[in-house]
Structure 1
Amino acid sequence: MTTAKKNRSLLPPARRPAPWLVIPNGADANRLNFFNVSDSENNSYIRTCEENLEKECVASMHGWLVMMDLWISEEVHCFLWNPDTREKIDLPSWDVEAPEDIGTCILLSPPTTPDCMVLFVVKKSFLTWQLGDKKWTKQNYELGRTHHGTEEYIAKAISCKDGIIYALTTQSVAVIIDRKSCGTLSVRSLDFGRPQFSATIRLEKKLVESRGDIYLVVILYVGHKAIQVGHVEVFKMDLYKKVWVKVESIGHQVFFVAECGSISLPATNLDLKGNCIYFSISADDLLYVFDLEDGNLSNYLPCPNLATPSFTPFWYLPNNWLVEIQKEDVNTVPKTELEMEMADNKFATVEEPVEESIGFRWINLPMDILRSIAMCLHSSADFVNFGRVCKSFASSIPQSPLTTQYPQLMFSNRTSLCSFCDPMHNVTYCFDMPDLLGARIRFSKDGWCLMSKGDYSMFFFNPFTKVTVTLPDLPPKHWANDGFSFTQVPTSPDCIVFGIAGFHKFFVQILYLHLGEDAWTQEYREK
């Protein structure tokens, strides 16, 4: 084992202790792009380092990184590296027959402690290194076979604060890796049911430790090729009931999730909104934010000048920053947290008596003031969330055209999940709109969408107010229309819906409907 240290920290300046999102890029992956989520100015920084040349991070824990060869051959080289202190600890090399078998890696504790251990799970075996070891210790483990006859092995692992190593198998079975006093490891399966996450053709599972509890974050992908993030579900391990409980809240915590390790921190000390999950994926360079409170999924580009190619992003938090944040959290954490958990299709809510306030209440604002506030909202997400506050806020949203708003791209993957791309702020918001399930947008104007569902059904839908205006079904013998439009918003008596189909060789079919009429008018005109 060799140790090297440089005095100059690699980290950029930061206004407050908060996790860095690090995106490696460049041909040799030695350019590190840093982005601090607590930076209100959204600055990003680039650092080039020789230590990271042709290396990738496979674990980021306790202020240290486990770095491994970017291009793995039969012999694997790796080392421990602290980007803050620039300390580097070379680890023994080891041989691997199939590089694709190298799975999860965790650092149980920093190398400044005597019980430091690096653990690699290589399909059906463990590889461990402890301080002073000249080589890696290999130990095989057995989990048996699935009901399909395939071998099962550990896919994800995380070390909890009390030293217990929790892991998840390829079939989402929860197991514990026990670390015996002699240094050997053993595996025992927990008699848990598998988490009941939503059906999808592709998903990613991440384990997170938060305040002594184990959470499972499931990222669901949608679309034809399943490359777009569609939704996020969170489950909590209940050791007493022996179940994974789907949770609707993580309290005032914020989860920072990545392939190389995840962090849970209190939002109050980071100047961030709590009950949110920040994550980045290898497929793109976006930073995603999922709000458990309203189910809103947004994303933005943290490093706009990122050069290609880029590699697996990870979160990094110096250990002294973590100690400082946790120390502040002792004095700022609320005495109680509202958690909504769903088990066996029932919600369990922890409630606390609340004294009725006789002071000012926002819901009592005059309607004209609420309407003025609504008209100042430029983001579609802010506009929709404004209407969700209460009935008074919802009724204040104007039904007239929103002339103060700029165009935004609205799209869906034929699910109830609708996305709004905000070109001014480079942010994409996602909302669950069940009314649009199976529907197709035919025309959009002044905040209203003309929708079709199936071969005959037509209706207006306002994504900001959630108001739906139904229309008569299309005629039984109508042609497949090339396009639809409307002259005025459906709240106007002068609204006319117009459709045209011109695939016939000699004729075009014209459909039009004055709002309020019981049936469409159908005409044919020669070309």
Structure 2
Amino acid sequence: MANSSTAAAAAYPLLVQRYGVAGVTPSSSSSSMATRVFSLPAMKLLDVNLPEEMCGNTFLETPQGLVLVLMTTSSPPASAFLLDPRDGSRVAELPPLGEGELPAHRRCVLSGRPPEPGCGVLVFDLESPALLFCRVGGERWSRHGYDIGCYDLPEEYCPVPKRRQLFDVAGVGGSSLTFLVESRGDLFLVAIAFEGYSIGGPYDVHVFRMDFSAAAPGPAWRRATDIGDRAFLVGGDNSSGASCSASGCGVKANRIYWINGFSEDEKRNLYVFSVEDGSVETFDTFESLPGAPRQTPFWLV
């Protein structure tokens, strides 16, 4: 059933926390779970019902705000589609995809929004250099490998060369985290640095914009001190990064919203960085529920 409530749509972007029920660890397809929602415009927990298609079925959120849903609780069980969680509408039907075909650790992105016919849907395997791909209006999913070289590791540590995969763009690198964010045709890199190797803070954040027009040796990252009427949402499940219009979504402009999925803080504090002056605000989000395992929170834009 579509959730067409104007109030519910106005609560987006959301930070969603899933809890297991009766000691069951929640998963993207678990029906034994409870969900709590933190609204960025309201900066507090709200009672917002997610579309029923996201309950009990496997789903993958995307930086473009849509959700890839695999219907595992109905017939045919392999049917797939793109869902707009704001109103529960099915935006595009996709070729069938079985849950067993998905990589265990994955990230889904779209080549455009709205997903018109021909738009690409990609599911990256975060553990190997491979991805699943289909097009809106296409007939099937296909699996592709790619080669971007190998890690530079000592032979005594790794005698067999280990191939790189695209998880590098959003992984832990030394004492910092990096996130790629596409916004209005621009490519940004958000780098959050820790003090030493402590993940408990304090933090320093830098934003870079890719300059594709740079002279030889080619494209280069340039420091950005203003991202305009935009807010970047980074961190959480799959170390994802997304962009939204600040004025359009009722959030602060020129800000980075980061949820620290590595923190041991029970409330998993939300950090809001100013791109202009580097100042930071922290907000409490979710409290733990006794005896209820939980997933790392994820964004719905």
Equivalent in 286, 289, 305 of residue 272 of structure 2? 289
Displacement of 1:44 in angstroms is 2.1
SS in 2 for 1:155: helix
- Provide closer, same or farther for how the CA distance between residues 56 and 300 of structure 1 changes in structure 2, counting only shifts above 3 A: farther
The match for 1:119 is: 122
**Partner of residue 254, structure 1:** 231
> Shift of the alpha carbon at 1:277?
0.6
CA distance in 2, matches of 1:94, 1:15: 29
What are the within-5 Å matches in structure 2 for residues 350-499 of structure 1? none
1:128, distance to aligned residue in structure 2 (A) = 0.7
CA distance in structure 1 between the partners assigned to 2:170 and 2:257 by the alignment: 24
Gaps of 5+ in 2: 28-32, 72-77, 154-160
1:231–1:297 Cα contact (<8 Å) kept? no
**What displacement does 1:48 show?**
6.8
How has the CA–CA distance of structure 1 residues 12 and 57 changed in structure 2, closer, same or farther, with 3 Å as cutoff?
A: farther
Flag the 1:295–1:253 CA change in 2: closer, same or farther, 3 A: same
Q: In the TM superposition, what are the counterparts of 1:34-45 in structure 2 within 5 Å?
A: 34-39=37-42, 42-45=44-47
CA shift in 2, pair 1:93/1:135, >3 Å: farther
Offset at 1:206?
A: 1.2
| Aligned counterpart, 2:178 | 205
Q: 1:480-505: CA deviations, max 9, x gaps?
A: xxxxxxxxxxxxxxxxxxxxxxxxxx
Shift, 1:33, TM fit: 2.1
Amino acid at match of 1:85: D
Give, in whole Å, the separation in 2 of the partners of 1:57 and 1:260. Answer: 16
Structure 1 residue 289 displacement after superposition: 0.6
Q: For the structure 1 residues 7 and 146, does the alpha-carbon distance in structure 2 shift closer, same or farther, using more than 3 Å as the test?
A: closer
CA distance in 1, matches of 2:289, 2:62: 22
* 1:314 counterpart residue number: 298
| Partners of 1:129 and 1:135 within 8 A in 2 | yes
Alignment of 1:294-305 (within 5 A): 294-304=277-287
The 1-side partners of 2:142 and 2:85 are apart by 27
Sort the Cα spacing of 1:77 and 1:226 in 2 relative to 1 into closer, same or farther, 3 A: farther
In the aligned structure 2, how far is the partner of 1:208 from the partner of 1:24?
24
For residues 105 and 293 of structure 1, the distance between their equivalents in structure 2, rounded to whole angstroms, comes to 30
Question: Which residue of the partner structure matches residue 158 of structure 2?
Answer: none
- Give 1:114's aligned amino acid: P
Q: Greater CA radius of gyration, 1 or 2?
A: 1
Once residues 66 and 260 of structure 1 are traced to their aligned partners in structure 2, the CA distance between those partners, rounded to angstroms, is 17
Matched, 1:7 2:2: yes
Cα deviation 1:294-321 (Å, max 9, x = unaligned) = 322222113457674332322223xxxx
Q: Can you list the C-alpha shifts for 1:411-431, whole angstroms capped at 9, x where unaligned? A: xxxxxxxxxxxxxxxxxxxxx
Aligned to 2:256: 277
Letter in 1 for 2:175: R
Name the SS for the 1:13 alignment partner. Answer: helix
Structure 2 CA distance for partners of 1:228 and 1:310, relative to 1, 3 Å? farther
